[in-house]
């Protein structure tokens, strides 16, 4: 089989027979080509997390199926822990020595595109329209620059969901999560009388406030146009009233005593444990926390947990059901990989790891895939995981600031919000500091 026919064979398999596991035809085709394709792959998914993490489970299952279907394609795989991956990937990128395929967080994408480390994938995706068009709206965005797609998303979903104890709220007269900020503050007051925090909160490692609170609140008040204006340098400012109001809401919750006092010195794990211990009635987090509750919460907490989103803000310009979310991590291809057999094999491998079958498996084990899984067996999900999935699917995804804003702005916000929550800084001061960082960024040559 010549090069052209081998390429065509991969495309046909990718578009129409993804489920043909262990196909003898595939093995025969690879053998007939007489060529050995080697793909180096570096990522941060772990065999030890299969069955525990929906992403790890689905991605590694896809890779296993690809290996079974294409035994003559050699994959040199390196699995790294998150922190180790971040250090090594950035070092390899600086040395222009990245593997063929690797993970790129959305916040790195501009740098990787500007430095021509990653390959535009539009032409390859155009060959596979069924796969390309199966991604949920917005999930390709953070992997796209100036209209070119540089990353294949894996998982998506809100970074802002509220997991709450329905029994505790019922005990203060609320048969559902408060539907207005007035009711929410009333609930906070009544819970405080019982010695229970409204929310547990943990921003020790910085980034939690931005990811799970600020991005969603700002959109509620300002609407998505404000964020787009900031990103495009079209006139919106961090000193605009709506941004200050969003930070002010967070500040008021802290000043009222509705959050744990050690909010800046505990991490997300401790924050969730406070909820498990009944020290708080709710916590704000992403869809990933659903399976933490299912796997680790005491039975009575698990049984009483429900899922909601923030109430709308009076006169807010955004969708009151929106949630900050989208895909945060992407598979990208080394810009040195040329079009041909190897790139075709890589794209087929990525379809196995992130496409339809992988998405369905991810949904069935409690994840929220970037690729729409369509109908899947919801009977396998615990009610908490199903509620988180349904809330995620119903929400309009708005941009997560830390994936889109320049790192210099993110750092000012991440540090400054800790001061606001501790009461040493006002929302207005943080807004001024962030605006200064923004203007410095805009004025860069």
Mean pLDDT in the chain? 88
Look-up: residue for tokens 């005491």?
298
**Residue of higher predicted confidence among 116 and 14:** 116
Beta carbons of 421 and 432 less than 8 angstroms apart: no
- Confidence band of 444 (pLDDT split at 50, 70, 90): confident
Q: Lowest-confidence range among 43-52, 162-171, 193-202, 310-319?
A: 310-319
CB count, 10 Å around CB of 49?
16
Is a pLDDT exceeding 60 seen at residue 360?
Answer: yes
Task: Find where tokens 């994938």 sit.
Answer: 121
Read off the pLDDT of residues 244-281 as tens digits, 9 standing for 90 and up. 999 999 999 999 999 999 999 999 999 999 999 999 99
The pLDDT of residue 1 is above 50 = no
Q: Are 322 and 200 in contact (CB under 8 A)?
A: no
What tokens were used for 432? 């001024």
The pLDDT tens digits of the residues spanning 184-215 come to 999 999 999 999 999 999 999 888 999 899 99
pLDDT at 164 exceeding the cut of 60: yes
Residue of 435, 392, 394, 439 whose CA lies nearest to 412: 435
Distance (Å, whole) CA 177 – CA 420: 26
pLDDT tens, residue by residue, 70-107: 999 999 999 999 889 989 999 999 999 999 999 998 87
In the numeric block, the tokens 């204006």 are attached to 229
Average pLDDT over residues 422-428: 96
Q: Quote the pLDDT of residue 28.
A: 43
How do residues 15-61 score in pLDDT, each as one tens digit?
A: 333 333 333 344 444 444 556 899 999 999 999 989 888 999 999 99
In percent, the amount of the chain with pLDDT more than 90 equals 68
Torsion angles phi and psi, residue 390, rounded to 5: -65, -40
The owner of tokens 């953070």 is 142
Tell me, what DSSP letter sits at residue 379? G
pTM greater than the 0.85 cutoff: no
- Comparing CA positions, the residue from 360, 358, 342 lying closest to residue 70 is 342
pLDDT digits (tens, 9 = 90+) for 361-370: 999 998 899 9
Share of the chain above pLDDT 70, in %: 92
Per-residue confidence at 6, pLDDT binned at 50, 70, 90?
Answer: very low
Flag whether pLDDT at 66 surpasses 90: yes
Residue 126 to residue 78: CA distance in whole angstroms: 29
């Amino acid at each position: 089989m010549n090069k052209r026919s081998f390429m065509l064979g991969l495309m046909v398999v990718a578009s129409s027979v993804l489920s043909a596991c262990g196909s003898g035809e595939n093995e025969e085709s690879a053998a007939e080509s007489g060529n050995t394709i080697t793909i180096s792959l570096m990522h941060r998914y772990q065999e030890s997390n299969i069955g525990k993490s929906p992403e790890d489970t689905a991605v590694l299952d896809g890779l296993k199926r690809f290996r079974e279907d294409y035994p003559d394609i050699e994959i040199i795989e390196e699995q790294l822990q998150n922190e180790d991956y971040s250090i090594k990937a950035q070092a390899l990128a600086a040395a222009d020595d990245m593997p063929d395929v690797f993970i790129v967080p959305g916040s790195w994408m501009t740098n990787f595109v500007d430095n021509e480390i990653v390959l535009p994938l539009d032409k390859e995706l155009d060959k596979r329209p069924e796969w390309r068009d199966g991604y949920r709206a917005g999930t390709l965005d953070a992997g796209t620059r100036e209209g070119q797609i540089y990353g294949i998303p894996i998982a998506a979903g809100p970074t802002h969901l509220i997991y709450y104890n329905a029994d505790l709220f019922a005990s203060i007269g609320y048969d559902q999560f408060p539907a207005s900020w007035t009711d929410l503050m009333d609930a906070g007051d009544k819970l405080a009388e019982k010695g229970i925090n409204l929310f547990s909160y943990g921003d020790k490692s910085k980034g939690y406030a931005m990811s799970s609170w600020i991005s969603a609140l700002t959109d509620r008040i300002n609407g998505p146009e404000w964020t787009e204006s900031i990103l495009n340098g079209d006139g919106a400012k961090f000193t605009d009233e709506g941004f200050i109001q969003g930070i002010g809401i967070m500040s008021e919750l802290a000043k009222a005593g509705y959050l744990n006092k050690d909010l800046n010195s505990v991490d997300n794990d401790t924050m969730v444990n406070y909820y498990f211990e009944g020290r708080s009635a709710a916590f704000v987090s992403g869809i990933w926390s659903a399976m933490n509750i299912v796997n680790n919460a005491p039975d009575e907490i698990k049984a009483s947990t429900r899922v909601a989103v923030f109430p709308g803000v009076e006169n807010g310009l955004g969708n009151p059901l929106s949630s900050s979310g989208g895909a945060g991590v992407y598979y990208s291809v080394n810009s040195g990989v040329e079009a041909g057999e190897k790139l075709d094999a890589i794209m087929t491998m990525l379809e196995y790891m992130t496409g339809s079958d992988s998405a369905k498996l991810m949904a069935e084990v409690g994840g929220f895939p970037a690729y729409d899984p369509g109908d899947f067996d919801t009977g396998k999900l615990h009610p908490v995981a199903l509620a988180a999935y349904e809330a995620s699917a119903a929400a309009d995804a708005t941009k997560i600031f830390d994936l889109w804003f320049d790192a210099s702005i993110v750092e000012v916000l991440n540090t400054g919000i800790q001061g606001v929550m501790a009461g040493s800084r006002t929302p207005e001061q943080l807004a001024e500091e962030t605006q200064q960082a923004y203007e410095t960024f805009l004025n860069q040559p």
